[in-house]
């Protein structure tokens, strides 16, 4: 058994990690690590660019208001409640990589990339929610403007991409077996030349 309870992880060079303190402990019982995933739905993604300084000054509020509008529109037109789909946003150019761990919060440049994803039970529902989300983000009202405006620039048309089925880890267990090959079928084939 590999016991990593006393392991120490340290930076090693620019991209490496040195691990020390773990130890091998002899065990009379064979164990196999069993990991597995489950499908959580079907994902669509979209990427948009925002350069408008008025929107950038109020970006967190703008996104929160647009997300609330999206949730309302999805409920009214598709009939899905918030617990029946997932809508996530990341702002590249402001905490997009580290999220809540970002040490320089609130520093926004002259433009950002807005990445958003939708996960829903079926591909059709995911497509329906994303259609509402991408259109809402594009035309969501801004206090300082009047009329029908476009707030984002989409680099692709259509503005979203289908990512297919998406999964999350669901199993992380240790299985005790009498023999290390017990859970695995092995089939030998001898090929003569």
Give residue 96's pLDDT.
Answer: 65
- Residue 110 confidence (pLDDT): 84
pTM for this structure? 0.73
Tell me how far apart the alpha carbons of residues 93 and 110 are, in angstroms, rounded to a whole number.
9
Does the pLDDT value for residue 99 go beyond 90?
A: no
Whether 45 and 161 have beta carbons less than 8 Å apart is answered as yes
Give me the DSSP letters along 149-173: ----B-SSSSSEEEEEEEEEEEEEE
45-95 pLDDT tens trace: 999 999 998 999 999 999 999 999 999 999 999 999 999 999 999 988 876
Topology classification of domain 39-168:
Alpha-Beta Plaits (3.30.70)
pLDDT value for 93? 82
Pairing mode of beta strands 112-120, 16-20: unpaired
Distance CA 58, CA 43 (A): 28
Q: Distance (Å, rounded) from C-alpha 93 to C-alpha 87? A: 20
Q: Tell me: the pLDDT tens digits for 136-192?
A: 999 998 888 877 788 899 999 999 999 999 999 999 999 999 988 889 999 999 998
**C-beta of residue 136 within 8 angstroms of C-beta of residue 70:** yes
Instruction: Give helix 123-139 / helix 59-77 axis angle, nearest 10°.
Output: 140
For the CA atoms of the chain, what is the radius of gyration? 24
Question: What was the pLDDT predicted at 95?
Answer: 66
Q: What is the mean pLDDT of residues 6-30?
A: 92
Asked whether the predicted pLDDT for residue 105 surpasses 90, the reply is: no
Q: Is residue 100's pLDDT more than 90? A: no
- The domain segmentation of the chain, as residue ranges, is 39-168
């Amino acid at each position: 058994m590999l016991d990593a309870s006393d392991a120490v992880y340290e930076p090693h060079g620019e991209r490496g990690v040195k691990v020390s303190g773990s130890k091998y402990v002899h065990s009379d019982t064979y164990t196999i690590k069993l990991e597995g995933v489950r499908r959580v739905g079907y994902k669509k993604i979209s990427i948009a660019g925002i350069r408008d300084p008025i929107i950038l000054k109020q970006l967190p509020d703008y996104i929160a208001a647009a997300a609330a509008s999206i949730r309302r529109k999805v409920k009214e037109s598709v009939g899905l409640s918030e617990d029946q789909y997932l809508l996530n946003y990341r702002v590249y150019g402001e905490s997009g990589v580290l999220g809540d761990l970002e040490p320089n919060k609130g520093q926004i440049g002259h433009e950002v990339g807005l990445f958003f994803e939708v996960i829903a039970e079926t591909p059709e529902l995911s497509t329906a929610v994303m259609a509402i989300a991408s259109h809402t983000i594009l035309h969501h009202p801004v206090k300082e403007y009047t009329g029908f405006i476009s707030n984002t620039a989409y680099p692709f048309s259509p503005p979203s991409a289908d990512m297919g089925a998406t999964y999350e880890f669901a199993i992380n267990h240790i299985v005790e077996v009498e023999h290390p090959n017990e859970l695995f079928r092995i089939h030998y084939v001898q090929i003569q030349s």
